[in-house]
Structure 1
Amino acid sequence: MSEKCEECNGKGYSVTGTAKCPECKGTGKSKSIDLMKLSEKDMANFLKNGSSCNNCGGTGEIEEKEKCTACSGKGVFFKCKVCGTSMDSLYEGDEVCQSCAKKQVVYKLDNSCTLDELEVGKMYHAKVRNIADFGVFVDLNSNLRGLVHSSNMKGPMEVGEAVIVSLKEIKPRGKMDLVPRKLKEYQTVELEKKLPVKLASEIPQMVGKKVKVQGEVIQVKQTAGPTIFTIADETGQISGAAFESAGERAYPEIEADMIVAATGEISSRGDSFQLEIQSLKRMTGPQEAEILQRIEAAIDSRAEPYEIEYMVESEVLEKLRPAMKKVAKEIRKAIIKSTPILLRHHADADGMTAALAIEKAIIPLINEVNGQDGEYHFYRRAPSKAPFYEVTDVVRDISFALEDAARHGQKMPLVVSVDNGSTLEDVPAMKQAKVYGIQMIVVDHHHPDEEVDDYLIAHVNPAHVGGDFGMTAGMLCTEVARMINVNVEKEIDHLPAVAAVGDRSEAEEAKMYIDMVSDRYSLQDLKDMALALDFQAYWLKFNNGKGIIDDILDFGDHKVHKNLVNLLCEQANEMIDEQIDVCMSHVKAQDLPNGAILNVLDVENYAHKFTFPPPGKTSGEVHDKLCKKYEGKPVITIGYGPDFAVIRSKGVLMNIPKMVRELYEEVKGGGVNGGGHLVVGSIKFVEGMRTEVLSKLVEKIGSVGVE
């Protein structure tokens, strides 16, 4: 191999000046000439102009030259094809250095190679294809087959045997005459066709042409026919088809996340384009690092979130802007890289509005990258019944992810947890996710614990900047969604208001979000949507309710939305009224030392079970009734069962996550865990320690301050 010397532009010398020609003494004329050797035309020219000096060409001057020191006057640099070192002289047809030339060179042909890459006299790796009476046919690659004639064979060969052959002759119509060679020592040089490297964005203009593409394998999908490899570079994705045999995995050594080089011909299939793969190789070392760095730099630039003005003025939101931009960028990056996104959310009005805001932003982008059915392969939304990411949740998620990886060659997903994920209760599930390389993002407003950040790549929580739970997940996620895809703003701008009333936020931002959509939705409309979401979430259990949730939140037919919300609210209110009628007569009240009024209700024995409203909702509705009864006074309501307690409060300065940790330490054998917001939450414990846990809990509540 050779490269032109840039120092002398391939001439081998540099011109340092000019001097008088020594032959003609600067005249430019020849001293003497043999007239007998001149043609008639040259004779006429000589008689008219005289003869020019052969040394200087008639200029009378010659260039003073200096040999190029960079290339030693050769004009080119020679590099060994085996080891890549520079060479002073040539060996083995300009390809190998003197050291490598001591060993024989045997070429291993890439599947992209054709007759154009073959040279008579050189040796090649081959495999015996079949045996005939007159010789043996061998394959040099998937495209090239030649004959080892029986007259050239020195011993028997077997089908499938790897052999080395020398190319004796290329006959008409591409037939090759090969001679077997036995070598003790040799160098293998991989040879592939020199094809232009094209980007994904250039593929539509290359139909019918052979090209090479380089990038990261995003997905490997086995069909009943070929194996489909999705390869991404810095400009987009290329779909490549490789065929071994019907339903058989081609290139089984190539998996998702590998950096590869693929060669083949571009074909058109309707509105899409496909690379018919002839060769697919994993890139390693410096080449892999260079391609990966190039792709990552381009993706990082493309993933930059939109710069937006928030829909409301908020000091908390402004302080959270860097964290929110990081979340938006990580989600955009996952979409560009075709990393599946799993959206986890708490199964209540705030969690569902938060999730739907993100969903509406990302689905158009996912389909843009992966085709119109992309959302069905690269996105899933799942509710969490508990106010944290349970082990039950993560086991389901890991199981689905492993199944998708096995069946479709997909990467492990990015888990985006909204209205969940900030507390110690989330950590056990996060640890399992980490084992499988699953990355996680959290957008939440529950009081956070520092430990969770060890398992997250991005985390948004108002408590990090001095805010509180009044800034709900639905508000936060709607603004993040706008950073991801600014085009969805008009579609989702009512979601923060629904989240605000659903989570009973009293933050100033909540009032602004509600006022912002008051021309379309009254306060009662927003409350009805929130109640309809809570009611439907109870019956959906672990189902995401796609379609139904869209209709409740007015993303489809407005008439269907109104009719559905009215019906669900009617059914929900009937069940709530019936439950409250039963429960209120069983509420026990007492005054606490700090002046708060404590109300307790045994929801296990004095409320309908296994129906709506569940214990948490029941406790909340009872609490609302009692707040009206004791208006202006600090009120606490505890709804308890055999092994749990739900806490609702107003005007009491509690820190439930802190209380839970203290109860865990102080009530030995109580098995206390749980959490939530500072003044609203739930705890679990072992049934046999209920009396001790609840007594200690009441003692702690009675010792805190009140408003």
Structure 2
Amino acid sequence: MGTCIICGTPVEGRICDSHQEDVVFEFRGNDESQLTPGRFYSGTVDGYADFGVFVDLAPNVTGLLHRSELDRRLESLDWEPGDTVFVQVKNVRDNGNIDLGWSIRQSERDFRGALVQDAEGDHDREEDESGDEAEADVPETPTVRHGSASREDESDDETAEPDENEASESTADAGENRAEISESAADYERVEIGTLSDRVGQTVRIEGEVVSTQQTGGPTVFEIRDETGVVDAAAFVEAGVRAYPEVDVGSVIRLDGEVELRRNEIQVETEALVSLEDDDADVVQSRLADALRGRARPESVTPLADHDAVSAVEGQLQDAAEELRRAVFESRPIIVRHTATADGYVAGAAVERAVLPLIREEHAKSDAEYHYFDRRPLEEAVYGMDAATNDVTRMLQDRDRHGEKLPLVLLVGTGATVESSDGLDLLSIYGAKRVVVDAAAVDAEVEESTDVLVSPVLADADASDLSTGALVANLAAAVNEDVRDDLRHLPAVSYWENAPESYLDVANDAGYDETYVRELREAVALEAYYQSYEDKRELITDLLFDNGVTPDGDGEDAGNLASHVSEQFRLKLDAEVETAKANLESRESDGVEFAVLDTDAYTHRFDFPPTALLLDELHRREREGDQFVTIGVAMDELYLRSTVDVDLRAVAEAARERAPEAGITAVGIRDGRIEFLSGRREQVKEAVVEAIAEQLS
């Protein structure tokens, strides 16, 4: 029996229940199950992700402080890896994941007391640090080694810790102080990283390329890739001190260490590490390059269904698939940009479905898919400077904070017109790879701003019946043949109307009839609108892939989620369409029928449906005759839809001649959008109507 350090109440331990949150704990346990939810703990910043910050509470005990728990924007945090921070343990999940909460108190003196918690319970810090037990928990310090592996070892003392001068010499002096792998380790046979799960408890030698480095509050963690996979190797010199400072991303190394299983993840505890040079490095790099070439390029592209436009670009799809697979095998992050529409989400989800299993197979870390793949929706079909600046900022932060490679940016249904050139060029300046896949509205000039461009238009193929979702689903099947069956229904889902019969047949064979395909499309479109900048990965997966539909369509509950969300979509859209129809302005000019809607006055602009989707639906329902144009005019932008092809840039140019002071610019070729100065709104509307009539007459 003890007394509470805050109030003196007799308690079992050192703190009463009512004062648990007044004390900060230093966790010295060895398992997350020993943590106490509700308590505040000190920890060290392990690293950042798009969704939050990883904080080490103890060696191999790491929690996630999700961005939703912060009282500020994630980007505004000035924490650096290795910084001491204070967090609250909110929950320890059954799978071992630790949910952390924000603490406004970021100094130990802000708490009323401090204790140590370990596997035995709570202690005063002085009690816990006395005796030999604390000493026994200190990890063995490996010898820091670098240089050519052909030199003989100059020291038999594997565990001696160098003093300050020795440490300095070991970094600066390439002569006699360059230690090597010891003779006792020289007999280790090199093994492939892909076999490490069968070698837990063994000391092994691996060779490969360092693809990321991360300094934690404890060891330095190197992520190492060979021709078969990727693994983390932890090297400890002193808590928070960088081991092997000469080894960085891109270094070719040879490492000896013990294979361990930490929180169900394979990790190597480094005993010795050599940075290879000259012929030794060339041998490893050649082995990696040969394996990468053989693994990355698919032998062929087999379309999901017969489609001439897809067949016309099979070579381009093969090139794009190779780049995506290569990025996975090189441990290069993949960023997918797509529009926040049903077609865009189908395209993005198809790539996600194909790439994530490859990442899981390649990396031992269970959260690798969150570090190496990110899907970022766009509200419009232009990859402008705003989006590009965001991507460049984040990729540079990830490079500096996590030691990650610069990403491959895949743009689907966006980035294919000259309006995106500035954004693409910004990526190019920093060396980020750019792959653009688009079924329509592609400008030849963009080829110079991309590494791979997939375009039926530039292949002189008729792409009038091809959606971007259908094109990208075929790309995804080429990236990962194992998920082909998961993708068969996606092309049909991506079409609002006139889906090719071949795609409808394939979807039906997969258990998705036309009704269910429509419900999926509408459900995705509704969810795409809300939180439009978020990928909603789990929700979209539930809708498109995990909704209880079996391959033969059996199951009473099949489609419940999609049906429920689709019903909301239909109710909201029908109500808005009826309001808009009652306020349409109908007119005729030079034989062209126009339906014009003032979207500022007669729509709820900040509620579902978005203007573009509403105009699409109005145009489908109201169109009549061979030449029918629907126009939606807002404060400073105009959308148009037409039953016949209209050259939007030519319309904007002709309208600009009629209203030279209105600042008319065609900015969204794919979504038919023109911008102008709001003060010239009525003048612009008339000028655009006249320009369209003139072009179509």
Native 8 Å contact 2:599 2:633 kept in 1 = yes
**In structure 1, what is the equivalent of residue 528 of structure 2?**
537
The 1:409/1:588 distance shift into structure 2, 3 A limit, reads same
The 1:499/1:306 distance shift into structure 2, 3 A limit, reads farther
Native 8 Å contact 1:227 1:241 kept in 2 = yes
* Cα separation, 2, equivalents of 1:470 and 1:443: 16
Native 8 Å contact 1:199 1:235 kept in 2 = no
* Cα separation, 2, equivalents of 1:286 and 1:660: 61
What amino acid sits opposite 2:629 in the alignment? I
* Cα separation, 2, equivalents of 1:590 and 1:697: 13
Q: Does 1:441 align with 2:441?
A: no
**In structure 2, what is the equivalent of residue 221 of structure 1?**
214
Q: Offset of 1:295 from its aligned partner?
A: 1.5
Residue of structure 2 aligned with 1:347, choices 340, 344, 355: 340
Q: Does 1:336 align with 2:324?
A: no
* Cα separation, 2, equivalents of 1:214 and 1:161: 27
Q: Does 1:300 align with 2:290?
A: no
What amino acid sits opposite 1:683 in the alignment? I
Q: Does 1:490 align with 2:485?
A: yes
Native 8 Å contact 1:657 1:675 kept in 2 = no
* Cα separation, 2, equivalents of 1:109 and 1:379: 33
**In structure 1, what is the equivalent of residue 567 of structure 2?**
570
Native 8 Å contact 2:586 2:593 kept in 1 = yes
* Cα separation, 1, equivalents of 2:164 and 2:175: 24
* Cα separation, 2, equivalents of 1:359 and 1:591: 46
What amino acid sits opposite 2:630 in the alignment? T
**In structure 2, what is the equivalent of residue 240 of structure 1?**
233
Q: Offset of 1:376 from its aligned partner?
A: 1.9
Native 8 Å contact 1:660 1:674 kept in 2 = no
* Cα separation, 2, equivalents of 1:236 and 1:583: 56
**Residue-by-residue CA offset, 1:96-130 (whole Å, 9 max, x unaligned):** xxxxxxxxxxxx9947999x957xxxxx8xxxxxx
**In structure 2, what is the equivalent of residue 160 of structure 1?**
165
* Cα separation, 1, equivalents of 2:335 and 2:258: 34
* Cα separation, 2, equivalents of 1:142 and 1:665: 80
Native 8 Å contact 2:252 2:275 kept in 1 = yes
Q: Offset of 1:483 from its aligned partner?
A: 0.8
Native 8 Å contact 1:345 1:419 kept in 2 = yes
**Residue-by-residue CA offset, 1:232-253 (whole Å, 9 max, x unaligned):** 1223334322112112222234
Give the structure-2-normalised TM-score.
0.69
- Secondary structure in structure 2 of the residue aligned to 1:518: helix
- Secondary structure in structure 1 of the residue aligned to 2:190: coil
**In structure 2, what is the equivalent of residue 476 of structure 1?**
471
- Higher mean C-alpha deviation, range 400-409 or range 656-665: 656-665
Q: Does 1:412 align with 2:406?
A: yes
What amino acid sits opposite 2:314 in the alignment? R
**In structure 2, what is the equivalent of residue 9 of structure 1?**
none
Native 8 Å contact 1:588 1:599 kept in 2 = yes
**Residue-by-residue CA offset, 1:74-114 (whole Å, 9 max, x unaligned):** xxxxxxxxxxxxxxxxxxxxxxxxxxxxxxxxxx9947999
**Residue-by-residue CA offset, 1:386-420 (whole Å, 9 max, x unaligned):** 11223332333333333333333222221111121
**In structure 2, what is the equivalent of residue 550 of structure 1?**
541
**Residue-by-residue CA offset, 1:523-544 (whole Å, 9 max, x unaligned):** 3332222122212211232121
* Cα separation, 2, equivalents of 1:671 and 1:253: 56
**In structure 1, what is the equivalent of residue 89 of structure 2?**
none
Q: Does 1:516 align with 2:506?
A: yes
Larger Rg over CA atoms:
1
The 1:603/1:230 distance shift into structure 2, 3 A limit, reads same
Supply the RMSD in Å over aligned alpha carbons: 3.4
Runs of 5+ in structure 1 lacking a partner? Answer: 1-107, 119-123, 125-138, 147-157, 165-185
What amino acid sits opposite 2:400 in the alignment? A
* Cα separation, 1, equivalents of 2:179 and 2:165: 21
The 1:189/1:248 distance shift into structure 2, 3 A limit, reads closer
- Secondary structure in structure 2 of the residue aligned to 1:605: helix
Q: Offset of 1:618 from its aligned partner?
A: 2.0
Native 8 Å contact 1:644 1:685 kept in 2 = yes
Native 8 Å contact 1:446 1:676 kept in 2 = no
* Cα separation, 1, equivalents of 2:655 and 2:272: 64
> Among the aligned pairs, what percent are the same residue?
28
Q: Does 1:263 align with 2:258?
A: no
**In structure 2, what is the equivalent of residue 589 of structure 1?**
586
- Secondary structure in structure 2 of the residue aligned to 1:235: coil
The 1:295/1:481 distance shift into structure 2, 3 A limit, reads same
* Cα separation, 1, equivalents of 2:691 and 2:512: 42
What amino acid sits opposite 1:694 in the alignment? K
Structure 1's consecutive aligned runs of 4 or more residues displaced over 6 angstroms after TM superposition are 111-114, 161-164, 204-210
* Cα separation, 1, equivalents of 2:241 and 2:653: 56
Q: Offset of 1:291 from its aligned partner?
A: 3.5
* Cα separation, 1, equivalents of 2:391 and 2:255: 36
Q: Offset of 1:453 from its aligned partner?
A: 2.1
What amino acid sits opposite 1:525 in the alignment? Y
**In structure 1, what is the equivalent of residue 180 of structure 2?**
192
Matches within 5 A, 1:544-693: 544-558=535-549, 562-593=559-590, 595-627=591-623, 630=624, 632-650=625-643, 652-660=644-652, 668=660, 670-677=663-670, 681-693=672-684
**In structure 2, what is the equivalent of residue 18 of structure 1?**
none
RCO comparison, higher one (Cα < 8 Å, 6+) = 2
What amino acid sits opposite 1:198 in the alignment? R
The 1:617/1:400 distance shift into structure 2, 3 A limit, reads same
What amino acid sits opposite 1:392 in the alignment? D
**Residue-by-residue CA offset, 1:280-319 (whole Å, 9 max, x unaligned):** 4544556545533431222011112253432322222222
- Higher mean C-alpha deviation, range 661-670 or range 387-396: 661-670
Native 8 Å contact 1:448 1:461 kept in 2 = yes
The 1:694/1:361 distance shift into structure 2, 3 A limit, reads same
Q: Offset of 1:647 from its aligned partner?
A: 0.8
* Cα separation, 2, equivalents of 1:665 and 1:280: 69
Q: Offset of 1:461 from its aligned partner?
A: 1.7
What amino acid sits opposite 1:535 in the alignment? L
Matches within 5 A, 1:249-288: 249-256=242-249, 258-269=250-261, 274-284=267-277, 288=281
- Secondary structure in structure 1 of the residue aligned to 2:388: helix
The 1:696/1:111 distance shift into structure 2, 3 A limit, reads closer
The 1:354/1:443 distance shift into structure 2, 3 A limit, reads same
Q: Offset of 1:515 from its aligned partner?
A: 2.5
* Cα separation, 1, equivalents of 2:393 and 2:573: 37
Native 8 Å contact 1:306 1:485 kept in 2 = no
- Secondary structure in structure 2 of the residue aligned to 1:463: coil
Native 8 Å contact 1:110 1:141 kept in 2 = no
Q: Offset of 1:361 from its aligned partner?
A: 1.0
- Secondary structure in structure 2 of the residue aligned to 1:416: strand
Native 8 Å contact 1:422 1:447 kept in 2 = yes
Native 8 Å contact 2:148 2:276 kept in 1 = no
**Residue-by-residue CA offset, 1:558-598 (whole Å, 9 max, x unaligned):** 466633333323322222232223222322222222x2211
- Secondary structure in structure 2 of the residue aligned to 1:383: strand
**In structure 2, what is the equivalent of residue 376 of structure 1?**
370
Give the structure-1-normalised TM-score.
0.68
**Residue-by-residue CA offset, 1:423-449 (whole Å, 9 max, x unaligned):** 122222223322332212111123112
- Secondary structure in structure 1 of the residue aligned to 2:695: coil
The 1:242/1:612 distance shift into structure 2, 3 A limit, reads same
- Higher mean C-alpha deviation, range 242-251 or range 230-239: 230-239
Runs of 5+ in structure 2 lacking a partner? Answer: 1-142, 550-555
* Cα separation, 2, equivalents of 1:376 and 1:162: 36
Q: Offset of 1:191 from its aligned partner?
A: 6.1
Native 8 Å contact 2:648 2:666 kept in 1 = no
Aligned pair count? 535
Native 8 Å contact 1:226 1:245 kept in 2 = yes
Q: Offset of 1:474 from its aligned partner?
A: 1.1
Q: Offset of 1:354 from its aligned partner?
A: 1.0
**Residue-by-residue CA offset, 1:180-216 (whole Å, 9 max, x unaligned):** xxxxxx9769563463672424656877776654321
- Secondary structure in structure 2 of the residue aligned to 1:576: helix
